[in-house]
Structure 1
Amino acid sequence: MVERVICYRAPTTVADVDAIADWLAERVDATVETRERFLDVHRTDGLAERFAEARVRSPYDRDTGNAMLGTIRYEERALENPEREGGVLYDGVGIQRALNAALPAAERGLETLHVAVLDRAIGTWGDHDGRWHKRVNVLGQPAIVSVPGLYEAPAKPEEYYKEKQRHALLSGDTPPREVLENRVDGEFLIEDDPRTTDALCGYVLQAYDVLETGEAFCDREGCRLYNAHYHEGLIEAQLRDPEFCDEHDRLYGTA
């Protein structure tokens, strides 16, 4: 049984982890607290090497890692100056193992859940189709919640990708938010979206729920515990009422 949840801030993102922790504390039977960035609080000497080992080489290559000195130096700089990191996809399970090893032994038990909100893109390998898939979270100890994953993992409307490609051909860069929102039908979240904090609440609760109940995700669309594969489903589950299906409302509802 989870007695304590520790959420770690992601200062280079718009995610308000203190607000997420407050939301969670109203819904779970555990104490909830926040700490500074996980990669600062639990920094270990070999962490840069572990991140280098977890780098995804190619979307269709199961093997990961780049042990070249330059890559390790990059990861060292990214740990010290996280605002300079970007554009790299990491094996979420590999990162989870590295962060678990960095936890103090006294806090590694499952009665204390650590939730590392990260500014890194993470993925998991799909045996069914032989490719990497970006994820919003990787459940376990510690649970990893990827802020970039919130924007990048669920599929957006097809017109979004067409408009992005069209704009890139004309100007060489990414279209501004207002262009995408005005020209693309359907709802979606993009980088630094003001709805980021609200949307992440459910993904943090998913990390608690799997340890508490042994069941991962909910199969009912519209529930905060639903694992949405499209942005429309994400918005329906995380940003619209009701928050939960009937079953999970009995566990986590506040009414």
Structure 2
Amino acid sequence: MVERITLYRAPTTAADADEIAAWLRERVDAAVTVRDRYLDRFVDDDLPAAFARARVLDPYERETGNEMLGIVRYEERAIEHPERAGGVIYDGQGVQRALSARIPADERDLDHLHVPLLDRVLGTWGAHDKRWHKRVNVLGQPALLSVPGLFEAPAKPEAYYQAQQRHAMLSGDAPPREVLENQVDGEFLVDDDPRTTDALKGYVLQAVEYLDTGSAFCDDERCRLHNAHRQPGVIEAQLRQPTFCETHAERYG
């Protein structure tokens, strides 16, 4: 049973860890605290190399990692100056192992859940289709929440991809993302979206549910614990009423 939950801020993102913590306190029987950025608190000399080892090199290749000096130097800068990082996908489980090893021994028990909000894009390998898939969260200890994953992992409405194809046919290149976001009708989250914090609340609760019960996700598409694979589904599950299905309303409502 989870008795303590510690969230870690991601100051370069639109996510408000304090607001998420306040929401959790109303729904779980656990002490919820907030700390500053995880990568600042637990950084050591090997952490940049650990991120370099977790880099996804090819979306269709299982092998990860590039520890060339220039890559490790990039990861050092990304930890020290996170606002300069971007454009890289990391093996979420590889990052999770690296961050788990840095949790102090007296805080490692599963009754104390650590939830770093990260400004990195995380992925997991799909054995069924032999490719990497971006993820919003990677559950376990610690439970990782990728803030950019909220915008990038769930597929956008079909109209978005249709507009992308039309633009490519007419101009021969891909349109800037912000152009599509302004042109396409449909509900989806974008970078620095003001709804980011609200949408992430359910993903944090999924991490709590996973440690408590071994099962994180709900089949009801209207429930915060539903694992939506498309952006309209994220909107439905995380930002619309009801907050929970009947079963989870009894537990968290």
Which TM-score band applies after superposition, normalised by the shorter structure?
A: over 0.9
What is residue 30 of structure 1 aligned with on the other side? Answer: 30
Residue aligned with 1:132, SS: strand
| Equivalences for residues 1-255 of structure 1 within 5 A | 1-164=1-164, 169=171, 174-176=176-178, 180-181=181-182, 183-253=183-253
Write the deviation string for residues 123-143 of structure 1: whole angstroms up to 9, x where unpaired. Answer: 000000000000000000000
1:62 and 1:132 map into 2 onto residues whose CA distance is 8
1:167–1:174 CA contact under 8 A, matched in 2: no
Write the deviation string for residues 154-200 of structure 1: whole angstroms up to 9, x where unpaired. Answer: 000122134346557489762536x634x323211111111000000
1:175 and 1:34 map into 2 onto residues whose CA distance is 33
Q: Which amino acid aligns with 2:82?
A: P
1:162 and 1:154 map into 2 onto residues whose CA distance is 16
Write the deviation string for residues 203-246 of structure 1: whole angstroms up to 9, x where unpaired. Answer: 00000111111212111111000000001110000000110000
Residue aligned with 1:187, SS: coil
2:7–2:114 CA contact under 8 A, matched in 1: yes
For structure 1, which segment, 213-222 or 69-78, has the greater mean C-alpha deviation from structure 2 after superposition? 213-222
Size of the alignment, in residue pairs? 251
Q: Which amino acid aligns with 2:6?
A: I
Residue aligned with 1:71, SS: helix
1:162 and 1:191 map into 2 onto residues whose CA distance is 20
2:140–2:207 CA contact under 8 A, matched in 1: yes
Cα gap change, 1:84/1:165 in structure 2, threshold over 3 Å: closer, same or farther? farther
1:164–1:174 CA contact under 8 A, matched in 2: no
2:164–2:174 CA contact under 8 A, matched in 1: no
1:163–1:180 CA contact under 8 A, matched in 2: no
1:164 and 1:25 map into 2 onto residues whose CA distance is 42
2:46 and 2:142 map into 1 onto residues whose CA distance is 18
Residue aligned with 1:134, SS: strand
Q: Scaled by the length of structure 1, what TM-score is found?
A: 0.94
Q: Which amino acid aligns with 1:113?
A: L
Write the deviation string for residues 84-125 of structure 1: whole angstroms up to 9, x where unpaired. Answer: 000000000000000000111111110110001000000000
Q: Which runs of 5+ in 2 are unaligned?
A: none
Q: Which runs of 5+ in 1 are unaligned?
A: none
Q: Give the RMSD, CA atoms, in angstroms.
A: 1.6
Q: Scaled by the length of structure 2, what TM-score is found?
A: 0.95
Q: Which amino acid aligns with 2:178?
A: P
2:44 and 2:209 map into 1 onto residues whose CA distance is 29
